[in-house]
Amino acid sequence: MATPDTTSATTPSHALVVGSVALFTDMLVHGLAVPVLPLLPSVVARGPAATGVLFSAYAAAMIVSTLFAGRVVDRRGPRMPLLIGLVGLAVATPLFATGGPYWLLLVARLAQGVAGGMSWVAALSLIAATTSLERRGQAMGIAMSTITLGVLIGPPLSGFMVERLGTAAPFLLAAAVALADGMLRILLVKDSPRVTDDTAGPRQVLRVPGSAAIVTAIAIGAGVLSAVEPVLPVHLGAGSLLIGLLFALASLAAILANPVVGRCVATAPPRLLIGSGVATASASLALIGWADRLWQTGVAMALLGVSSALLLAPATTLIGEQGLRVDPPTLGGSYALYNLAYAAGLSLGPLLAGLGVQRAGFTAAMTTGAVLLVAVGGTVLPGLPRTVP
């Protein structure tokens, strides 16, 4: 069983505040970029495929930095990765505000991804190192909920600011939020406590039977919504505010659906919930591709949010149980594997969508994506546990 580092000057409450704000800031900056980047002239000129690369660059850098962050946390504790993440945000936000050229925006996305990978692993590790195992699940739930909050607030706020104040305004706001976040990291994290009980890593959790199927479900849940981010704004030709509201609708639907699905996790078979998520995600992509009215796109985006809850809520519970089956049991390894799977979905979704739209057109790409989801889902479902342990 875990025991917090009693010599640590970082209290559990301070760790929870710092970790939650770090996760919120990262996803807020990510959400602020959604309605803006695809419509910048330097990005539009490069085409849908380059737009997809721009969006997937964040997740690709996040995957790489997550691996390094895990090693740094193991050796030196969470404080250093938190500060590295702060530097990444400090680099990314002013580069976004320039509006281009394309290569500079790509550098900004990579810096943002490095910051995200470092901040996610360090934030969750900081909470784990200062919180007893009995209370750790509740603390992690609070921290993870701030991710959804950042995704919900970011797009509509960005759209509003772009229409009123210009394309640089959201990123100047992001810089201010990052500054406040950085002050909390510096002032509240006095030392660098280390986790003493989570000795196994994500590789050990992945070896547990059933983990591969759960990881695939997590990647699908992250990848479906992110696949729409770089291509829908250009397809609709709408303003940033409307685009932001559509993505906020998906996030709101996910927030409303998450507690409902969460209550069902203990009683309903995971295969039923995740299978329903795959079916709903497939239907929403098809509807987005064929919609010729705005309200139809709105319905599809809401369904996309519901599918995210159906996929991620059961998978989040299951991946934690997989970590408990490792010898010795690990919670940190489960969260690291979750982060890697989530980042993989964020990377592949925009990349495949951008290439598909450029080669086959928007409707064909969305329809193909819907068919692929059904095919992948059919291979994933049999590998899932029949019940939640």
Q: What's residue 1's pLDDT?
A: 38
Prediction pTM value: 0.76
Pairwise CA distance, residues 322 & 201, whole Å = 12
Residue with tokens 């505000």: 97
> 1-197 maps to which CATH number?
1.20.1250.20
Q: What's residue 2's pLDDT?
A: 41
Q: What's residue 10's pLDDT?
A: 75
Q: What's residue 199's pLDDT?
A: 56
Quote the Cα angle for 144-145-151, to 5°: 100
Given 3-state DSSP classes, what are the helix, strand and coil percentages for the chain, each rounded to the nearest 5? 80, 0, 20
With bands split at pLDDT 50, 70 and 90, how would you rate the model's confidence at 361?
Answer: very high
- Asked whether the beta carbons of 104 and 219 are under 8 A apart, the reply is no
Which of 96-110, 121-135, 160-174, 305-319 is least confident? Answer: 121-135
CATH class entry, domain 198-389: mainly alpha
Average pLDDT over residues 284-299: 93
Pairwise CA distance, residues 222 & 220, whole Å = 5
User: Where do the structural domains in the chain lie, given as residue ranges?
Assistant: 1-197, 198-389
Residue with tokens 């969750």: 124
- C-alpha Rg value of the chain to the nearest Å: 20
Average pLDDT over residues 279-297: 94
DSSP run (H or E) holding 27: helix 12-33
Rama region for 194: left / alpha / beta (φ>0; ψ in -120 to 50; rest): beta
Average pLDDT over residues 289-313: 91
**Burial (0-12, 13-18, 19+ Cβ within 10 Å), 53:** buried
**Token couple for 136:** 């750790």
Q: What's residue 110's pLDDT?
A: 92
Domains 1-197 and 198-389 share a fold: yes
With bands split at pLDDT 50, 70 and 90, how would you rate the model's confidence at 331?
Answer: low
CA atoms within 13 A of residue 100's CA, in its CB half-sphere: 15
Exposure string over 244-265, b if 16+ CB within 10 A, otherwise e: bbbbbbbbbbbbebbeebeebb
Pairwise CA distance, residues 109 & 229, whole Å = 14
Q: How far is CA 205 from CA 71, 82, 209, in A?
A: 17, 25, 9
pLDDT single digits (tens) 76-86: 778 888 888 88
pLDDT single digits (tens) 40-92: 888 888 888 888 888 888 888 888 888 777 777 767 778 888 888 888 888 88
Q: How far is CA 387 from CA 261, 265, 268, 337, 365, in A?
A: 15, 9, 8, 21, 35
> Nearest Cα to 185, choosing from 68, 14, 28, 30?
14
Q: What's residue 357's pLDDT?
A: 92
- Asked whether the beta carbons of 29 and 174 are under 8 A apart, the reply is yes
